[in-house]
């Protein structure tokens, strides 16, 4: 419990206001969003901020409820929450919300669009190709294995799989492309998996994830004990600084605000490659961004207040 947090002058603007925590939603990441939303609501209540949950699925009450809040804390993940669609609607209604503006969400959510932006920003990212219903066999067969296949608009590792050799995975690739229309394939980077969080302008310590499975898949992400987390990552200080700088370049370059998390692979020669950026990272108390914040003395409650304060300061700028 940290009720004293609200008496800190930096959070003065947050006294006596009502927060609508938007969570749940329509995407495949709904269960995770419900967990994030619950953690945020509880944390805000613990510090004496009035907060109530809102679910976009309740179409009838949604538009009334969002008007009852002074600020909306968006704890949605995936389509409809992280892709800028909701943000755009809120911007048009001139409602205040946490995190990034719609344009930045759209740039970071689609993995092909974001990889193009990484290229323009000089941010290293693994080689890739896009499969569609027509070209998939030719392109996937020619692409040097091993590689990862992933949906362009996924999250939580859903739909992500490793292709060790084309023949062995041809059927899986075919089914994925037919279902999704398009699929990203990306060179597998062999090395360590890291993630770098940003909180406002603060570069949080780099975290290493060590899954006990072949990669950081859904099971490894959400089953207790399946992944070891090193906070901060045990990597040379110079490498950590470089990764933080790359993550910040992505954050600034895409126009992200409030918070974000950049997923990175580090190859055996300590060369970093950015996989993706999450404009609304997981917000359960066990999620990666909160872990990184805690390592520099920022409690989960304070993290939520900082994100809200940033939203407040963005008034009129979105």
Q: Under the rule (CB under 6 A), what is the footprint of ligand ADP?
A: 126, 148, 150, 154-157, 160, 186-189, 193, 215-216, 263, 265, 275-276
Angle of CA points 130, 193, 178, to nearest 5°: 25
How many CB atoms are located within 10 Å of the residue 60 CB? 7
Collapsed DSSP state (helix, strand, coil) of residue 37: helix
Determine, following the binding rule CB under 5 A, whether residue 263 of this chain makes contact with Mg ion: yes
**Is residue 302 annotated as a catalytic residue, yes or no?**
no
Collapsed DSSP state (helix, strand, coil) of residue 271: coil
Q: How far is the CB of 60 from ligand ADP (least distance, A)?
A: 31
Stretch that binds Mg ion, among 24-32, 86-94, 180-188, 261-269 (CB under 5 A): 261-269
Q: Which of 304, 313, 312, 309 is nearest to 2 (CA)?
A: 304
Q: How far is the CB of 214 from ligand ADP (least distance, A)?
A: 9
Q: Helices 85-92 and 102-109 sit at what angle, rounded to 10 degrees?
A: 170
**Is residue 270 annotated as a catalytic residue, yes or no?**
no
**In a 10 Å sphere around its CB, with 0-12 CB exposed, 13-18 middle and 19+ buried, how is residue 168 labelled?**
exposed
Single out the catalytic residue among 23, 261, 306, 309. Answer: 261
**Is residue 201 annotated as a catalytic residue, yes or no?**
no
Considering the complex, state which of residue 51 and residue 105 has its C-beta at the smaller distance from ligand ADP.
Answer: 105
**Is residue 261 annotated as a catalytic residue, yes or no?**
yes
How many CB atoms are located within 10 Å of the residue 170 CB? 15
**Range 74-98 burial, b when 16+ CB lie within 10 A, else e:** bbbbbbbbbbbebbeebeeeebbbb
**Is residue 63 annotated as a catalytic residue, yes or no?**
no
Single out the catalytic residue among 156, 157, 260, 287. Answer: 156
**Is residue 156 annotated as a catalytic residue, yes or no?**
yes
Q: How far is the CB of 191 from ligand ADP (least distance, A)?
A: 8
Considering the complex, state which of residue 33 and residue 157 has its C-beta at the smaller distance from ligand ADP.
Answer: 157
Site residues, Mg ion (CB under 5 A): 263
Catalytic residue list: 29, 156, 222, 261, 263, 276, 278, 282
């Amino acid at each position: 419990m940290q009720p004293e947090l609200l008496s800190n002058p930096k959070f003065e603007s947050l006294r006596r206001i009502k927060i609508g925590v938007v969570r749940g939603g329509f995407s495949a990441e709904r269960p995770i969003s419900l967990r994030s939303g619950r953690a945020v609501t509880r944390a805000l209540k613990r510090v004496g901020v009035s907060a109530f949950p809102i679910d976009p699925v309740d179409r009838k009450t949604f538009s009334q409820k969002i008007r009852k809040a002074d600020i909306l804390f968006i704890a949605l993940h995936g389509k409809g929450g992280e892709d800028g669609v909701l943000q755009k609607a809120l911007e048009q209604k001139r409602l205040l919300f946490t995190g990034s503006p719609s344009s930045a969400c759209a740039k970071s959510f689609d993995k092909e669009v974001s990889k193009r932006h990484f290229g323009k920003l000089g941010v290293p990212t693994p080689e890739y190709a896009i499969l569609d219903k027509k070209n998939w066999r030719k392109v996937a067969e020619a692409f040097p294995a091993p590689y990862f296949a992933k949906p362009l608009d996924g999250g939580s590792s859903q739909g992500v799989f490793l292709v060790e050799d084309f023949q062995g995975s041809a059927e899986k690739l075919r089914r994925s492309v037919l279902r999704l229309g398009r699929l990203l394939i990306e060179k597998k980077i062999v090395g360590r998996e890291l993630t770098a969080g940003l909180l406002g302008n603060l570069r949080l310590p780099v975290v290493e994830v060590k899954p006990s499975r072949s990669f950081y898949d859904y099971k490894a992400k959400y089953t207790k004990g399946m992944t070891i987390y090193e906070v901060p990552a045990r990597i040379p200080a110079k490498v950590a600084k470089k990764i933080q700088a790359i993550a910040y370049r992505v954050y600034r370059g895409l126009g992200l605000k409030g918070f974000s998390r950049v997923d990175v692979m580090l190859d055996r020669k300590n060369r970093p490659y950015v996989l993706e950026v999450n404009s609304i990272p997981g917000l359960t108390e066990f999620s990666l961004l909160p872990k990184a914040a805690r390592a520099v003395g920022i409690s989960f409650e304070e993290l939520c207040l900082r994100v809200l304060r940033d939203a407040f300061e963005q008034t009129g700028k979105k």
